[in-house]
Amino acid sequence: MIANIHIGWAHQFPTFTISLRKAAIWLLPNKWIENGDWISSGEIDIMETRGNKELIKPNGQNIGTPLLNTNLHWGANAQTNRYAQTHYETTIPEGFAQAYHKYQVEWTPDFIKFSLDDREIGKVTPPSGGFWELGNLEKTRLPNPWRGSSKMAPFDAEFYLILNLAVGGYFFPDQADNRSGKKPWSRTSPYRIGMTDFWRNRQQWIPTWNLGTDDSHLKVDYVRVWAI
């Protein structure tokens, strides 16, 4: 289940500041590049968090509400997604669901910078050869979908802002322990079977949502956009 709020703003190189409690904020292209797909057209994840207060990996890391992920998705195709080169994480002990925070991205013709509450957490400055050179994609022997574009391609086109609240999906590793029972679906299950398993096991997770309170709500304080 996914609830999306699409902000009707498409622009090149804006600066965003968004204040909210938990969930995710993405920027997706207004349209895919010609003969391209999702990855070659780019995705900007301003922030992503998981709603579990405790979601513990086997190594002891809590990847629940205390962890914030931000990254770019880009590549010649889905198989050459180089997001790991432009992925950043930061944590706060109390988690990101307890108060409003400012999630910020500065997007210019030269770089993309991510910040949390006015503190920089990651910056991507591609070389003169652009993201094709940054990802060493020449070795893939695939055609360059950004040939003839600026060094910021695919992030030199119009993108839309999406505020996203989702349930389930592939963002939750199977081996993580949320302290309330076994994960009620598998990442390897076919899509519809995974959704069915999740719903059939609802008595496991519904009590943790604290329905009737704000605990399970997506709350947005404001969205601010500056064009440069």
Q: Which residues are catalytic?
A: 43, 48
Distance between CA 199 and CA 195 in Å, rounded? 6
205 — phi, psi (to 5°)? -110, -25
Phi-psi region of 107 (alpha: psi -120 to 50; beta: other; left: phi over 0): beta
**Three-state SS at 142:** coil
Say if residues 9 and 160 touch (Cβ distance below 8 Å). yes
Phi-psi region of 178 (alpha: psi -120 to 50; beta: other; left: phi over 0): alpha
Distance between CA 66 and CA 50 in Å, rounded? 9
**Three-state SS at 75:** coil
CA-based nearest residue to 96, from 123, 69, 118? 69
Tokens of 152: 């910021």
